[in-house]
Structure 1
């Protein structure tokens, strides 16, 4: 008789969610479904944020690349101007090493005239 009661109790627990006319939704299933829905919406929000961060990091990468190219060009231009200035300084050294006062006067006068021309053109 005990086995029959145990069998009946096991059968009742097995078919606990079934009623006449269909399956009854248990409260744990509906809360699980709600949790699943919340997780899906949170996941979509997270995907949107990840996509936004991906676009921002791509924009930062492009900006860094353009700045690196600009700095490389500027470095090359500085190197070429450094070479130009060192050649000019060598010429100045040669001019100042000569003891000719006439050359010195001509050099100083040409600088003054050049300065005045540039001054009046920029005014």
Structure 2
């Protein structure tokens, strides 16, 4: 058998009819082509579905992480506000102590800071 002749026969079988302005594939070829295309489309759809599911999980995880970070930042803001209030009260007390010219109070304040420092050390 001649390979060129077989090739020509297979080409002729693929394009056996000419219709108005185009080629029409033989029925056996078009049926096989449809099955192959459907199979490829299904695989592509499954791949896309897997990617969509992955993106959905990632976006859900990102949403949870953002919510968690927002709660943590809110707690930190509240803690900073509370410490700012305490620090403001302490500064007001220091101003009051330094405004009074009593050397005895100043000595008591310095001595108490030294004692507290030594106890903590």
Please confirm whether the aligned pair reaches a TM-score higher than 0.5, indicating the same fold. yes
How many correspondences in the alignment? 97
* Deviation, structure 1 residue 118: 1.0
> Hey, what does 1:68 align to over in structure 2?
70
RMSD over aligned Cα, in angstroms?
1.5
Structure with greater Cα Rg: 1
> Hey, what does 1:83 align to over in structure 2?
85
Deviations 1:5-43 (A, max 9, x none): xxxxxxxx8xxxxxxxxxx95112211210110010110
Q: Aligned with 1:26: secondary structure?
A: helix
2:43 paired with 1:53: no
List aligned pairs for 1:5-24, cutoff 5 A.
none
Q: Aligned with 1:99: secondary structure?
A: coil
List aligned pairs for 1:19-34, cutoff 5 A.
26-34=28-36
Gaps of 5+ in 1: 1-12, 14-23
Which of residues 24, 40, 43 is equivalent to 1:41?
43
**Runs of 4 or more consecutive aligned structure 1 residues displaced over 2 Å after TM superposition:** none
> Hey, what does 2:113 align to over in structure 1?
111
Q: Quick one: distance in 1 between partners of 2:38 and 2:44? A: 10
> Hey, what does 2:23 align to over in structure 1?
none
Q: Quick one: distance in 2 between partners of 1:37 and 1:86? A: 73
